[in-house]
Amino acid sequence: MVAKCLAKNFMMPLFQLTKEKGYSAHIGGLAEILDWSNEFYDQYYDKVLNWEMFRSGSSNIYNAFTLDDLILSFGREKLKKFYDQNGNHTNYFSRRYAAI
């Protein structure tokens, strides 16, 4: 569910940065989204099991009202970090995932 939401909302912005086309770029974009999904799971799975407690607690750094709000806020933060770290690497996915 997390990967689907992140892919739906952030795949196109990832590709707009790199301007890449082709298999390695698409696989790379999906791999990046899966990495984000795993990171989301590691950070939030235990916390969101009791959503009401999480929503009103200090761990809710995005002030998310729903789980989708949390996922989207997390995705926006990951996209910003991705842009900051890779903004000058227009062939990021081809370089990183060319062997796949």
Neighbours of 60 (CB within 10 A): 19
100: pLDDT strictly greater than 60: no
Angle at 78 between CA 72 and CA 82, to 5 degrees: 140
* pLDDT tens digits, 37-94: 999 999 999 999 999 999 999 989 999 999 999 999 999 999 999 888 877 766 777 6
Give the pLDDT confidence score for residue 13 in this predicted structure. Answer: 87
Which position has the higher pLDDT, 8 or 28?
A: 8
Sequence ranges of the domains in the chain: 1-13+35-87
Of 31, 43, 46, the residue nearest 82 (C-alpha)? 31
